[in-house]
Structures are given as C-alpha cells and as structure tokens.
Structure 1
Amino acid sequence: MGYEVAGLSVCMFTGHRPKNLPFGYCEDDIRCIKLKVLLKNLIKEKIVYGGISTFLTGMALGVDIFAAEAVLELRNLYPHVTLTAVLPCANQTVKWSVGDVVRYNAILNKCDNVIKLQQHYTNGCMNRRNLYMAKNSDCCIAVWNGSKGGTGNAVKFALELNLRITVLDPVTFEVYEI
C-alpha cells in the first residue's frame, strides 16, 4: 500500500480525457455537471468516512482536472486535506490550448506538492505516472467506462497493487467498487 500522511490514507485519481467522455469538451453539458457533482461527493465521502487526507492527480485534461478542482474546493471545508500533482513530464501542456494551460497553472499553484517524474514527454511516461500514483496510494477513484487505454491501464495497476477502487461510470453514472 501507499504512504500515509499523519496516519491517514492517500487516494489517486484516474479518468478519461474529454475526447473519451460522452460530453466531450462541453463542461456546460448536464452530463458533465452531473459527473462533477458525483465526483466531488465521492471525494467528500473518502475524506469524511475513509480517512483520506491526501489526493494524487496526474493533471491530464478531463477527469484529472475535474478531480483536482473538487479537492481544492473541499479543502475549504477540510483544511487538513492536501493535493499533490504528479506530472508525467514537465512539458505536459505543450500542445494544450492557452485556456487549458491557464487552468492547469492555476491548479498547480494551489497544490501542496508537485512531483515531476521527468522533464520531457516520452512514450510510456503517462503509464509511469499512473504506476507511480498507484504505488503511492491506498485507494483509487476511477471515472472509467471499462474501456482499454490509459485509464484502463491505471485501473489495472491499482488492481495489481490491491488498492480499493471506486469506479464512477461516466456514461451510466453507476458507482461501484472493484
């Protein structure tokens, strides 16, 4: 299992990028709004009932960003909660839009810790980021539709390391444990 901070556990996030979410990049879509509310509620449950005090986000577009923003909002109610950004590479945002980079930097500036695993993008760096987070966590919140790919690989790493995994399906909004 992962490390503990002040006797409390660590939770990682994994989830789809906008292109793999049913609403795409449209955050005004009612499905996106519902997903964000459910995600925030899951995070709150982990804090209140699960003893989680530290959250790890990979800071990818989509779910990672949504989760980071939810943790930062909840930190106002639960000041003991910390957020660590685990970046696969320092230049992760090189191909992003200006608006996405501004949002990313605003989150990074509010993180308690930022871990950069390497300087430049290489094949496999996203998987190395996911494995790092899984090795340093006790549980995982996955916004996942069951498909293969980066999120599926992160869930696989978490399963192999016996993490408690809570899945939120972004299509059906079903929540279940695996």
Structure 2
Amino acid sequence: MTFPKDKAVTAHFTGHRPQHIGRLHLEVRECVEWLVEYATERGIKVFVSGMACGVDLTAAKYVMDLIDGGADLYLVGAVPFPTHWQKWPRSTQDEYAALVKRMKRSDRCKVCLVSDGGYSIEKLTRRNEWMADRASMCLGVYLGTHGRQGGTYRQLQYSSSRGLHTIYCDPANLRMYQVLPHQEVG
C-alpha cells in the first residue's frame, strides 16, 4: 500500500497535556471526534500526531480505532526524540507503548523519529514544525482560558502563520474556532 505524502490531504494535531485538561477528558475526546470529522469532510486522509501525552495520544488512538474499523485513513506518529515518554506516569507509558505497537502492525501507520538524542525544548519545537511543514490543516484542542502561552498556543499560531487551515475546539465550551492567518489565537 502506498502511503500518501500529499500535504493537501494531511492534517496534524496539537493540544494540551493532561495537567492542563483537568477533568475535561470526555470533552477532549468529543473535540477530537469533531475535528477528525471536520477534516475528513474536507478531504483529509492522513493524520499526524506529535505522540505526547494528553490530546496527542487521545487523537492518535481515535484515528487508530477508525483505521482498525476499516476507515480509509492513515496515521503518522511524529516522535520528537527517542526517550520523550520516559518521565510520564507508568500508566501513560503503557498506553503509549500499546499504541506504538498497534501502529507498527498496520500498513496504514508509521512512526517517525524527528530528532535523535535526549530531551530539549528545541526538539519539541522541531517536531511541531516538522508536523506543520507536512500538512495543510492544523487541528487543535485548546482551552481559550489557558492564555496566550504554551506549546498548543504556539503551534496554532505557527500553523496559521504558515498558511495552514487552522481550527481548534475548546473543550470547556465545546465550540470550534478558526484561526485566520495573522490572527491572534483565542
């Protein structure tokens, strides 16, 4: 099977880590479902996850479930560096390992290592830019109350400034927002 490499059919996810989501886990899942539906209605076939704990893993698992159910979709896991998962809680490490194992068994998935070596904030930024540079759409789960800071905010801004169709869902109010180029998020 040929893995599509066309930016026009590719979207990437961005979103908060668990500590910023609080008790909104069900709402985050609902946002992910809406965003995937929105994207597929617009011709997106390939979804890229940054494979971080929180929204990234939720989104990757959801797309993987759709693929396992027969959907004509593809999933790319953009791993920022080999050991990025090692400081997570054990249950999240297990969740990550199970997802990677599922992805490696599917010809509709691939896991890409973006940088070698250990942790650095620059490698997380490089991963985020790598995802945006290969996509035409950015799908975010972003709490507007989180303020104009953090990786999710920066990724929404970066994607929009690069001309990607940028949309996010706020799990606190379950509303979708589009970010226009050169428009401030939130």
Q: CA 1:19–1:37 in structure 2 vs 1: closer, same or farther (change >3 Å)?
A: same
Of residues 95, 99, 122, the one that matches 2:120 is 122
Question: Shift of the alpha carbon at 1:78?
Answer: 4.5
What are the equivalent positions in structure 2 for 1:99-178 lying under 5 Å apart?
99-111=91-103, 112-119=109-116, 120-146=118-144, 147=147, 148-178=149-179
Query: How many Å separate the matches in 2 of 1:7 and 1:174?
Result: 26
Measure how far apart 1:7 and its partner are: 8.6
Q: Which runs of 5 or more residues in structure 2 are unaligned? A: 104-108, 180-186
Give the structure with the higher percent helix: 2
Indicate how the Cα distance of structure 1 residues 124 and 37 shifts in structure 2: closer, same or farther if over 3 A, else same. same
**Gaps (5+ residues) in structure 1?**
24-30
Aligned to 1:34, the other structure's residue is in SS state helix
Q: What letter corresponds to residue 117 of structure 1 in structure 2?
A: V
- Runs of 4 or more consecutive aligned structure 1 residues displaced over 6 Å after TM superposition: none
Identical aligned residues as a percent = 26
Q: Deviations over 1:111-142 (max 9, x none)?
A: 31111112221232111111111111110111
Distance 2:43 2:69 in 1: 15
Taking structure 2 as the reference length, the TM-score comes to 0.83
Q: Distance in 2 between matches of 1:74 and 1:41?
A: 13
Question: Are the aligned partners of 1:44 and 1:74 in contact in 2 as well (CA < 8 Å)?
Answer: no
- Name 1:38's counterpart in structure 2: 31
SS of equivalent to 1:75: helix
71-80 or 12-21, which deviates more? 71-80
By how many angstroms is 1:76 displaced?
3.5
In the TM superposition, residue 35 of structure 1 has moved relative to its aligned partner by: 2.5
Q: TM-score, normalised by structure 1?
A: 0.86
Task: Tell me which amino acid in the other structure corresponds to 2:152.
Answer: T
How many residues of Structure 1 are paired with residues of Structure 2 in the alignment? 167
Moved more, 115-124 or 136-145: 115-124
The aligned amino acid for 1:115 is C
Distance 2:8 2:120 in 1: 34
Matched, 1:75 2:67: yes
CA offsets 1:18-64 (integer angstroms, 9 cap, x no match): 111132xxxxxxx32132123113202322x1111110001111100
Separation in 2 of the partners of 1:143 and 1:81?
20
Say what the alpha-carbon RMSD is for the aligned residues. Answer: 1.8
